[in-house]
Amino acid sequence: MRYFVTVRDNVYEIELAADGVRIAGERVQVELTHVDGTTLHHVLIDGQSHRLLARRGEGGNWIVHLGGRDIIVNVLDESMRRIRDLSRATAATLGPEPVRAPMPGLVVKVEVSEGQEVRAGQGVAVVEAMKMENELRAQVTGVVSRVHVTPGQTVEKNQVLVEFRAWEG
């Protein structure tokens, strides 16, 4: 299984395979131990010991406390990365790109309403596809002009879920 871990603006590809762990293609020795009942982990990387605290943050991020500081980390597996890439706007248009379903699924939650101002990156809807919930986000700052779906509704690939108009503030 491959994961894409983003720390600040750097993306690291981590592969977990039967023969071990590879980070950016290089094999490394990794052991991870969780301390039961806490958010504390002990990780041993190529013989170097580290203690870290990890907790879920907002928008699918993790907050990792390591070396006396908090680091925001985003982790995506291969399929989640593909879904995220499919849901991104492909080109600039005259107005903000609507949020579309990246694949067939079920609307679990609508997080915005018509007339609401949204910021780029803000979650607007959650769609369940292939037994995974995917939060779909606005690509640019704007105002919700139309919400086309409701929770419990099934959607098809590329179906428009939420439309926007340019924000004038």
Per-residue pLDDT, averaged over 140-157, amounts to 93
pLDDT score of 59: 67
Q: Judge if pTM exceeds 0.85.
A: no
**Model confidence at 28, in pLDDT bands (50, 70, 90)?**
very high
**Sign of the four-CA dihedral 30, 31, 36, 38:** negative
Domains of the chain: 2-78 (3.30.700.30), 92-166 (2.40.50.100)
* Residue 116: partners with Cβ closer than 8 Å, 6 or more residues away: 143, 144
Residues 6+ apart with CB under 8 A from 168: none
pLDDT at 92: 41
Contact 3, 62 (CB under 8 A): no
Task: Enumerate the β-bridge partners of residue 129.
Answer: 132
Go through the chain and tell me how many residues it has. Answer: 169
Residue type, 73: V
pLDDT in tens, 39-98: 899 999 899 999 999 888 776 688 899 888 999 898 888 887 777 776 654 434 446 789
Beta bridge partners of 127: 107, 134
DSSP letter (8 states) at residue 38: S
Residue type, 100: R
Render pLDDT for 102-143 as a digit per residue (tens, 0 to 9).
Answer: 889 999 999 999 999 998 889 999 999 888 898 999 988 889
Q: Which residue has the tokens 């779909």?
A: 136
Burial class (CB in 10 A: 0-12, 13-18, 19+), 162: buried
How confident is the model over 19-38, as a mean pLDDT?
A: 89
Residue 168 reports pLDDT greater than 70: no
